[in-house]
Amino acid sequence: MNKNKTLLQKFIEFNAIKRMAGIKKRCLLTVSGGMDSVVMCDLFNKAGFPFAIAHCNFTLRGKESDGDELFVKSLGEKYGVDVFTKAFDTKKYATEKNVSTQLAARELRYQWFEELRVEKKLNLIATAHHLNDNIETIVFNLVKGTGIRGLRGIPVRQGNIVRPLLFATRDEIQNHQKENQLQFREDSSNAEEKYTRNKIRHSVIPLLKEINPSLEATLGEKIDLFSQLEAMYERQMSNAAKQLFLQRKNDIYIPILKLKKTKNANSVLFEYLKHYGFGKEHIEDMLANLNNTPGKQFISDKARIIKDRQFFILTQLPEKDFTTKLIEEKDSEVKLGNVKLKLSVSAADKIKITADKTLAFIDKSKLQFPLIVRRWKQGDYFYPFGMKLKKKKLKKFLIDEKVSLNEKENIWVLESDKKIVWVVGYRIDERFKITPKTTQVLKIQMKAKVAKTA
């Protein structure tokens, strides 16, 4: 962008290139009353771009906050545009949501801005973030360790939110303000170094500018490149994730052999698993255990990963409720966490038996109510249907069925008079099968709720 152009010319050119503000798009300008947002209003007015103004009174600075609101209303009169204001009990909201005051203010304002945009049929929401804000954000992100995403700083556009001043330096905005004698309100909190961003603005950036006086120009040229690099990184991670993370019912399976062959496996795992609360230490521990025996577990506050024979299995944390459930003879349904059992009784000559593991057909006369449903435990045994009354330990049966470690923890058994009737979802016991002498059949259908994954 030509350095000799005025701020207004750069503003019009930047928004045309980025396809944001323009004469055919009516924007809702978020105006605090500070210098940046006042200059934004003036540029929109001089460019002939239609706009309305929104102002949030967070009621955090008493009379000063009320003064800001009155000043912003006067801007609406000056430019002949609509002004919408709203007062928030920010501290109350922060307490109720257990978040910081700054985060509370952010959530409140952006929610209201979008409601206004829809209600007033506006096209975009514009904030007055500029290049120096972007540089401060990049430094802040680097300090926090946010990785490559942090290098691109503030996006030019996020959905309906645009930053039409993101090209401009603070000095350019200040020069425009002085040249046009624009009045504005000074927020006293901007000088307080108790906020991290203010420390970066007032202490860190000046030191960096001693090293590189052209800091804004240098980083300004690189931000687009950082954004392109991020987009490339996202595509690579997305493609790798499609190959590596396999959805099976409620769980995610990660093939160990394929993981060993995956380039940048550490990054791929981190980008996917961070949504489940896993951090870099978890990832390093997983990779260190690639060749170890099965059974190792990695637990976050949201989920768990179990190392099986051929897979790492990402699953929800096991239910803490291991309560035994009773089924009375009159019951037609019982809920077991994500599993539901539906029960019905029919005459033997009216029932159609199908081969489906989610269904159990049992000779009702052989049952003793109430039935019991419980989690399986070590030492359980039964006589699997089709094995001619051959006794088998349930643990061995599950191994033969290739039931994974995480799935084993969610196995239920149906019991009658201390005898296993059905390993739910797998096989009934030979002793309770239907015979030619059966007159009534208890049909049980298992329905499992499939959980959504990230």
Q: Cα separation of 164 and 173, whole Å?
A: 12
Per-residue pLDDT at 339:
82
Give CA angle at 41 (35, 42), nearest 5°. 90
Its sign, for the CA torsion 19, 23, 24, 28, is: positive
Per-residue pLDDT at 224:
79
Per-residue pLDDT at 223:
82
Q: Which residues neighbour 297 within 8 Å (Cβ) at sequence distance 6 or greater? A: 304, 305, 306, 307
For the chain, first and last CA: distance in Å? 41
DSSP, res 438: -
Q: Cα separation of 428 and 446, whole Å?
A: 13
Each domain of the chain, given as residue ranges in start order, spans 7-229, 245-316, 325-448
Per-residue pLDDT at 2:
61
Per-residue pLDDT at 453:
45
Q: Cα separation of 88 and 69, whole Å?
A: 12
Average pLDDT, the chain: 89
Q: To which H or E segment does residue 151 belong?
A: helix 148-151
Residue 44 phi, psi (nearest 5):
-60, -45
Starting at the edge strand found earlier in the chain, the sheet holding 157-158 runs 83-87, 51-57, 27-30, 124-126, 161-162, 157-158
Its pTM stands at 0.60
Per-residue pLDDT at 228:
83
Starting at the edge strand found earlier in the chain, the sheet holding 311-316 runs 246-248, 251-255, 311-316, 303-307, 297-299
Give CA angle at 278 (294, 296), nearest 5°. 15
Q: Which residues of the chain have pLDDT under 50?
A: 451-454
Largest interatomic CA distance in the chain: 101
The residue assigned the tokens 């059949």 is 441
CATH architecture of 7-229: 3-Layer(aba) Sandwich (3.40)
Both tokens assigned to 389: 């009354």
Q: Cα separation of 3 and 169, whole Å?
A: 12
Q: To which H or E segment does residue 16 belong?
A: helix 7-17
List C-alpha distances in Å: 173 to 31, 38, 170, 198, 267.
15, 10, 5, 19, 40
Task: Report the CATH fold assignment for 325-448.
Answer: Phenylalanyl-tRNA Synthetase; Chain B, domain 3 (3.50.40)
Q: Which residues neighbour 312 within 8 Å (Cβ) at sequence distance 6 or greater? A: 253, 254, 256, 259, 286, 305, 306
